[in-house]
Amino acid sequence: MKRRLIPFFLLAALLLPLLASCHGSRDSRAFELPETFDLTRRYEITFWAKNDTNKTQADIYEKAIADFEALYPEIRVVLRSYTDYGQIFNDVITNLATGTTPNVCITYPDHIATYLTGENTVVPLDLLMEDGRCGLGGSELRFSSPKKEEIVGKFLGECAFAGHTYALPFMRSTEACYINKTYVEKLGYTLPETLTWDFVWEVSEAAMQKDGEGNYLVNGQKVMIPFIYKSTDNMTITWLAQKDAPYSTSSGEIGIFSSETEAFLREVFAHAATGAFSTFKISSYPANFLNAGQCIFAVDSTAGSTWMGSDAPLVDIDRERIVPFETAVMTVPQLDPENPKMISQGPSLCLFGKKDPQEVLASWLFMQYLLTNGVQIAYSETEGYLPVTETALADPAYQDYLARAGEDNALHYPVKIAAVRLLRENIGRTFVTPVFNGSASLRDAAGQLVENVVKSARRRETADDAYFKKLYRDVAALKKLDRIGKPIGGDLGPLPKASVVFLSLLGAVWIGIAAVFLSGKLREKRRKNKKSIEK
């Protein structure tokens, strides 16, 4: 018997090292800062960037690359443009498996948290930033890079989690409420100093009155959705932050499925049921309704401000449909006007680890170049973005740009500059949500709750206690929130009861079949023994 086991032990001994070598076989060396940057070599690095369907932004990236390559002829930068952060995220995930990630990548901290589930994927920037020669404001750089303390502290802090700084901020925006002030006043209201949820709901309901022919009194049209929120995940997150209600902890404990969230969703349901509220996913771009005089409160990013207002330089509807009105730009609705809170968002930059630390260093130089005043100011002017460095914010060229608001409806479009000023004046009132593996899914879930509730209201469903229990269960399952915080490919958790019953049943059937087979064999053996004894 023991001799029979020897081949199994040998096989196991042979297979185990193979299995061990398969796990994490990718090159996983952590980045080590080289002593010097080797400029005798040539480098080709890739930069995956996002432009907001905006040719000027793409042109600014191209110019930044050309200017950088002129300073560093040893480094060639290959740009890959995207129009969607989600697509960048998907492509990075795909390329992590094959080790073909970009060198520099536009990103969001939530995405980095997912990338970090691989080993040494995103390079921690702590050492690079501090390096006296090639770090921020380093002595050996061929351009004037901002020092660490010259990056807006709040924005840089958003890129730090799990004990390291994993990104540099590139641009920042927040959300703003773009308001048809003309209609607010036509309805007999005056805009308060700080916009509140109560005010927005009240005016929105007042705008739902129709004449005998079904036209809304406020605009004389058949269509009016007074309040449209573009990003429903931000809507939920912002309301919860203003309420000091649970969302999640930094370690990934989820608090969103709470009574506070339910109270918020019940309010959303009530106003969606009257038609006073809708979302981008259900109705379309808030700007299109606002500009057509079919919406009064349109909440969208400050980075979408060039689409907002009857003189907007960018439009997505027939110009004939645009209705003239006065546009007011205010902070998103607040629960406590004395203590306003709004989200901080916008693209950041991260570096991916490579076998060659010199290549990482070359990428780091380019990444820093994107924070120089020329790039920062040019890019921020394309939309309602705020530069992320104090040097760019204080630059006379930038100050001049802000001061010329309203001179034209292109570069100095007043709504855009008002949106930028709104963020500039409220940096200290912005917040971000905790970053952990799965925080992107939780964010999706926050939006899904609102989307489902609005759909249900429109379908005349009943929003009772059972409805919210089911809603929470469905959204948690859809977004796989039970797996949050666990490593990708980790333990899948216990089997559902139905699966346990089914598998037990199958097991019992196989045991039964085996028992019948063995008993048949035994009977046959006994018969043979009996026959041989009889013989």
Chain residues in the site for another protein (CB under 8 A) = 51, 53-55, 57-58, 81, 83, 223, 225, 278, 282-285, 288-289, 292, 294, 314, 316-318, 441, 444, 455, 458-459, 478-480, 505-506, 508-509, 512-513, 515-516, 519
Of 223 and 427, the one with the shorter C-beta distance to another protein is 223
Tell me how far, at minimum, the Cβ of 485 lies from another protein, in Å.
17
CB 341 within 8 A of CB 421: no
Number of neighbouring beta carbons within 10 Å of residue 302: 28
Least distance to another protein from the beta carbon of 437, Å?
A: 15
Q: Which CB sits closer to another protein, 196 or 283?
A: 283
C-alpha 440, offset from chain centre: 6
Nearest to 233 by CA among 299, 290, 170, 296: 299
Query: Of 131, 44, 20, nearest to 354 (Cα)?
Result: 44
- Min. distance of Cβ 123 from another protein in angstroms? 28
Whose Cβ is closer to another protein: residue 30's or residue 513's? 513
Torsion-angle region of residue 275: left (phi > 0), alpha (psi -120 to 50) or beta?
left
The smaller minimum CB distance to another protein, of residues 149 and 316, is found at: 316
For residues 137 and 132, give the distance between their C-alpha atoms in angstroms, rounded to a whole number. 8
Distance of closest approach, residue 318 Cβ to another protein, in angstroms: 7
Secondary structure (DSSP) of 81-143: EES-HHHHHHHHHHHHHHT---SEEEE-HHHHHHHTTSSS-BPP-HHHHH-TTTSTT-TT-SS
Nearer to another protein, 87 or 100 (CB): 87
CB of 85 to another protein, least distance (A): 15
Please, which residue, 254 or 335, has the CB nearer to another protein?
254
Angle at 405 between CA 381 and CA 338, to 5 degrees: 90
Q: Residue 29: which of 123, 94, 104 has the closest Cα?
A: 123
Task: Compute the least distance from the CB of residue 386 to another protein, in Å.
Answer: 22
Query: What is the smallest separation between the CB atom of 317 and another protein, expressed in angstroms?
Result: 6
Q: For 229-280, give the DSSP string.
A: ES-HHHHHHHHHHHHT---B-TT--B--SSHHHHHHHHHHHHHHHTTSEEET
Helix/strand/coil percentages in the chain, nearest 5: 45, 15, 40
d(CA 410, CA 382): 9
Amino acid identity of residue 468, one-letter, is F
In whole angstroms, the minimum distance from the beta carbon of 377 to another protein comes to 20
Nearest distance from C-beta of residue 214 to another protein, angstroms: 15
Toward another protein, which CB reaches closer, 329 or 445? 445
Cβ distance to another protein smaller for residue 10 or 505: 505
C-beta separation of 219 from 434 below 8 A: no
Q: Which is nearer to another protein, 50 or 354 (CB)?
A: 50
CB of 84 to another protein, least distance (A): 11
How far is 131 from 116, CA to CA, in rounded Å?
23
- Torsions phi, psi for 104 (to 5 deg): -120, 140
- Report how far residue 301's alpha carbon sits from residue 124's, in angstroms, rounded to the nearest whole number: 29
Taking the least distance from each CB to another protein, the nearer of 36 and 53 is: 53
